[in-house]
Amino acid sequence: MILKVLSFGAIALLILLRLARTRFGTRLLGVSLRVLNIVYLVALVVAGVLAVLFEQWILLTVVVILLAVSLVEEIRRRSAQAPVRDGDRPRRG
């Protein structure tokens, strides 16, 4: 019973950390967005390892989903910042 309560508490903490990764969250906490991203990823990895050790499959499922969403966000962010090469630019005229 206690593991279920801790598991749901960890899920709530992970969701709060995810919501804190905004400009408002960085201003509110006084920490840079990069630091919040690192703390969030470390918390996800630790929660994932603990979920496997204690066989908390709901927590592990939430961790995997949050990691997948973070990966997609990072890929989109990096592709939006990718510089345009000369061969990729549309030709005029």
- Predicted confidence at residue 53, as pLDDT, reads 95
Q: Counting Cβ atoms within 10 Å, is residue 66 exposed (0-12), middle (13-18) or buried (19+)?
A: buried
- Token output for 48: 């994932």
What is the torsional sign of CA 60, 41, 31, 73? negative
Q: What is the pLDDT of residues 46-86, one digit of tens each?
A: 999 999 999 999 999 999 999 999 999 989 988 988 776 66
Whether pTM > 0.75 for this model: the answer is yes
